[in-house]
Structure 1
């Protein structure tokens, strides 16, 4: 899903006060973690994820993999925090 800059700004504002729902550990991106992220996206639609430590390119690849597998859209990536969005069937978040 392609988001406009206005929609991205809106989603970043909503995600700002949220705590990370999923934290990736030393194991990295396992199938179980991907399933947990997908389930959390179905329930919450907007998700903040704390990525495991590593270099910037590795974290970016993790985020791309998460978005690819879950069909979500990356909203923001700052340091070890990432925000992804996947609208639900009955979306509780109304985008501007």
Structure 2
């Protein structure tokens, strides 16, 4: 599960922050803290999305920073942003996931729509 965390430049972090702005948190770290199941869920969402938000319950800033460091160490993700109770994490998606997301073949074009008058004239 552990991978090397990607080194992000300032420009890459800025672009990722812009992409993450409209995202909703997909994982919540609750009162029980950072458990193995939470790490597993974060890893699964990083595989699926690449860029995720994680909400941390609790008011202790130091605990949130420790959680962020532990998540990055365990999953190989990079911390893009820590703002309030939200953590923005990024890890490049595996090649097989990206291949599965490739665009499907284009659809066959439909026939042009007919007006009521054109339809009645055809009869």
TM-score normalised according to structure 2 size: 0.72
What CA RMSD, in Å, does the superposition of the two structures yield over aligned residues? Answer: 1.2
Equivalences for 1:68-79 in 2 at 5 Å?
Answer: 68-79=73-84
For these two proteins, the number of residue pairs brought into alignment is: 92
1:9 aligned to 2:14?
Answer: yes
The residue number in structure 1 matching 2:32 is: 27
The residue number in structure 2 matching 1:85 is: 90
1:42 aligned to 2:47?
Answer: yes
Separation (CA, whole Å) in 1 of partners of 2:57 and 2:69: 14
Rg comparison, structure with higher value: 2
Separation (CA, whole Å) in 2 of partners of 1:34 and 1:89: 18
Separation (CA, whole Å) in 2 of partners of 1:40 and 1:89: 12
Moved over 3 A (4+): none
1:20 Cα deviation (Å)? Answer: 0.2
